[in-house]
Amino acid sequence: MGLMHTRQIDRLLHAWFGGWTLGLSPASLWLAYFDWALHFAFSPGKQLELMEKALRESYRLSRYAWEGAIPDGCPEGIGPLPQDQR
């Protein structure tokens, strides 16, 4: 393969990665992900907090769906949290 072909392949690959990563470096994305994962792995309190939140929110969603399935029992919906000022 000639030099011209390898440059074209490099440009094509860089363009593909640029579109896929929105112009960010794949290496920096992986480093950010592994940094986050490492901090999360050593934070059991945060893991428990997120699991509790997931259970609480899934309960709210299933209750909302169940009440919506009952005729004339349509719930008002899930509103914003009290601290949400939007």
Q: What is the pLDDT of residues 34-76, one digit of tens each?
A: 999 999 999 999 999 999 999 999 999 898 888 777 666 555 6
Could you give the percent of the chain with pLDDT greater than 70? Answer: 84
Residue 72 per-residue DSSP state: T
- Domain segments of the chain as ranges: 44-70
As a whole number, mean pLDDT of residues 14-38 equals: 87
CA-CA distances (angstroms) from residue 10 to 15, 27, 82? 8, 16, 52
